Amino acid sequence: MSHRLRAVVITVLGGLLLAAIVALVGSPAQASPSGSHAAFHRTGADTATAQSKIRSYWTKARMRGAVPKIVHGRPSPDVATGKPKVVKGKPGPGTDGFLGGAWSGGGAVVKTTGKVFFTEGKTNYVCSGSSAASSNGSTVTTAGHCVNEGPGAYVTNFVFVPAYDHGSQPYGKWVATALATTDQWRTAGDFDYDVGLAKVAPLNGKTLTATVGSQSVGFNLPRGQFTYSFGYPAARPYDGTTLDYCSGTTTNDTLGGSQDQRLACNMTGGSSGGPWFAGFDKSKGTGTQISLNSFGYTGEKNAMYGPYFGSVVQSMFASFSAR
């Protein structure tokens, strides 16, 4: 069988790497996985002292200098599915589509979406993430390549900064005590399963959900829905300082053969891990997360791809968020 090249553009602006994902799409697998046994990876930030050290590490200068990472992976041709399921979120204290720009609508999404910062090796990186409905009230969704090398080791110094705005951190830095991704991403860098989770420690005696609220998460839901995507892109025409978004009806990947969904969107590096919402209420800023920003193809402009939240992601999410 033929092999096709699958890649995301690497962009450099002001000496900073602002987007990068390169991978090869190989021969289709013969069977789809039936589940995931992703490990509950503890970060070691279980004490107040350890958490304070990580918060102190992320100075404004380090945040400004953080860059998106380069990852490699090999997607499979099928994504396991199961019975439709939505985990309902909680509130905190109709269009033809939009290619991308600043979000000015307000609502819950401003507080539940944030920037993700972490270290891999000796390099500091940045992604996006979302506060998700969970039993532990402390779960953040992001891309798999924002928690694990794929394949390889888990990252360190992971923090989530909700409602980040021009360097402002109104709800503080939330330190991860545990991380997880799918077996398919952790062992093979499979973009069909490029999903990551983080459990963050309480801050000022309150959980993440109690502080900023959380968004609903859906699994095994219909494809082709009208979707809103959010994140903190950093390459032109963006600068990573504000919450941005795009919207439109998702379609299948007809370019590279993955099982990811495609969204017409011009968001760039730094938006990785930002949530995709179906049934999004613009006035309330709430919806049901069905995917997240994962990758784009070299040579294809204004297109973002995101993994389908099927039974593998559902199993991982249920196990992780209950801890």
Q: 185 pLDDT exceeds 80? A: yes
Q: What is the pLDDT of residues 97-155, one digit of tens each?
A: 899 999 999 999 999 999 999 999 899 999 999 999 999 999 999 999 999 998 999 99
Query: Would residue 35 count as lying in a domain?
Result: no
Comparing 150 with 32, the larger pLDDT belongs to 150
At 159, list the tokens.
């923090």
Cα(61)–Cα(323) distance, integer angstroms: 34
Residue 260 is assigned to a structural domain of this protein: yes
What pLDDT digit, counting tens, does each position of 213-233 carry?
999 999 999 999 999 999 999
Whether 223 is in a domain gets the answer yes
How far apart (Å, rounded) are the C-alpha atoms in residues 201 and 136? 10
In this structure, the chain runs to a length of 323
Q: What is the mean pLDDT of the chain?
A: 83
pLDDT of 194: 97
Print the domain residue range for 119: 4-29+40-321
* CA 191 vs CA 105, 118, 233, 241: distances in Å: 31, 20, 19, 27
Pick from 9-23, 135-149, 157-171: least confident: 9-23
- Residue 177 pLDDT more than 50? yes
pLDDT score, position 69:
59
List the CATH number of the domain containing 210: 2.40.10.120
What's the domain count of the chain?
1
Kindly state whether residue 24 falls inside one of the protein's structural domains. Answer: yes
> Domain for residue 34, yes or no?
no
Question: In this structure, is residue 226 part of a structural domain?
Answer: yes
- What mean pLDDT comes out for the span 39-68? 87
Please say if the pLDDT value at position 9 is more than 60.
Answer: no
Q: Which two tokens stand for residue 134?
A: 């969970």
Alpha-carbon gap, residue 71 to 191, rounded angstroms? 10
Residue 191, judged by CB atoms within 10 A of its CB (0-12, 13-18, 19+), counts as buried
Residue 24: its pLDDT value, please? 27
For 63-101, the pLDDT digits (tens) are 888 887 534 333 444 445 555 544 444 444 344 689 999
Residue-level pLDDT at 66: 85
Q: Report yes or no on 89 lying in a domain.
A: yes
pLDDT over 70 at 59, yes or no: yes
- The answer to the question of residue 150 being in a domain is yes
